[in-house]
Structure 1
Amino acid sequence: MSTRDGWIRAPTLPARWRSALLLVPLLVLDVGVFLVPMGYLLRLSFTAQTPDGAFVEGSWATDGYQYVFETGLVHDVFGFTLGFGVLVTALSVAIGTAYAYAAWQATGWTKTVLLSGAVLSLFTTMVVKLFAVVLVFSPRGVVNDLLTGLGVVAEPLLLIDNLTGAVLAQLYIVVPYAILSVYAVLSTLDRGLVEAALDLGATRQRAAREVVLPHARPGIAVAGVVSFTWSVGAYAGPLLLGSGSEQTTGVLISRLLLTRFDWPAAAALSVVTIVVVFAVLLAALWRLGGDGGLLDA
């Protein structure tokens, strides 16, 4: 439309349409990166198995799901994966919360060093992290040399190529995310509330338990979600630092794809794993929301 000065002004859209247009790039990204691959994975899980190739093109079958639900090895691997995820999540949340609290309490260079340690860890590739775990915790690594040198143990401890190694490797991966999740929430806490609790006679332990922890609850919940999701999908840690017994669904899926070329079974196991993880996370978030924690924060 024309104006008095001769310029043409483009028609303006209502505010709600402008807001909707801002969501278009996000929707396109979600569809292209998440929905399309997940849809293909779901379709692949319903194809027929064949010894001559990955799967039968254009077929519809439940061979993959029959393998998942009827094979004892899959049940054992799935049970270990869930237990491994719970164990790593509990340790990661505990370590991350304690570390974040220490960083929140610290000042000056101490705070800078603590936060830098967590952040810089994210800039290191996963392979480098895992080989660092090997160098630190191997029988001739830094930890064992220190323990034997101080006379704490007579023989080096076996801390890798077993469940301990797999857990340590996964903790190296997920703990920095747990630390930053909790610290991000703690940084919004008014220190005056803690001082008020101390002035009213509370000990520092009680103030931390009744003032700091309730405030940090949303961050702790996020740390738990991130740690559990990463740990249930663990692949590199259990494969490189665990033994053959520490086999997660990620390791089994890889073997089904690359060794047995059983794509329907691998896809079906992937779908079942995703469904179980989402169910556990939704139940946890619903529980936290029902208590007035995460969803109200």
Structure 2
Amino acid sequence: MTIKSTAGRRPAPAADNAGTEAAARVADVLLLFTGGPRYLGVSAISRELGLSKAVVYRILQSLVSRDVLATDDGISGYRLGAAAAALGASALRRFDARTVATPVLRRLRDETSETTTLSGLVGDERVYLDQFESPREIKMTVELGRRFPLHAGSSGKVILAFLPEERRETLLHRPLDSLTDNTITDEATLRAALAEAIREGVAVSLGERQAGAGSVAAPLFGPGGEVQGSISICGPQYRFTPEVIEHYRALIRAAAEEIRTNWSWLRDRPGRD
């Protein structure tokens, strides 16, 4: 039997654990504002997170006092405040993927005359981080900052396909909610679509996340090789014929590889921490 000395080591104080839990609650409250209604009330947040109304109210008041959340006269509920907007803008400026993706996605928009987008993986969902709108009169635009499930649409599916197996399996065993009549909600069908995305390096959607919209997406891998988001070409579904989709597959694959290469260079350049 080996006896290990515990001299100099102390268990984490209860106060530390309580502080961690409190910080997690604040983060959970804030994350609710990245999707769903613009305004959220105490009762809705309490139900969603399983917290007492008293706890939720204290968190909300603390965030309001720091301008992270705000209220409007005559409207019941809370919304994101000026400080939250400043944090989001600062994060985007410092997000290397956006820096290297911007010229590539602009060029891709010009080549295709369709909207191009950048999505990021946030928890078990994804959000649009940027878009470059089509110059056409009839075009598709996306809502930046809103969270979407990974199984709905090409940008989410291609992220889901390249997640580590254990994490992907966990998500596949959760309920697959329908966003449109074409959303894949059958696990076997979704698995087949993910297998195709892995083979092709590209995912396609025809009305799966938004009715009447077509898109082709490729995964965006970080310098360490992990999937961190995706890029897409999207537009009205009627323009996404089989021939056009095949052409876009090649374009989006090449664009994703260019972004990955530039991202790695940006991280490894001299003088960068």
Q: Same fold (TM over 0.5)?
A: no
TM-score range, shorter chain: under 0.3
Query: What TM-score, normalized by structure 1, do the two folds share?
Result: 0.23
More helix by share: 1
- Where relative contact order (Cα < 8 A, 6+ residues apart) is larger, the structure is 1
Query: What TM-score, normalized by structure 2, do the two folds share?
Result: 0.24
More strand by share: 2
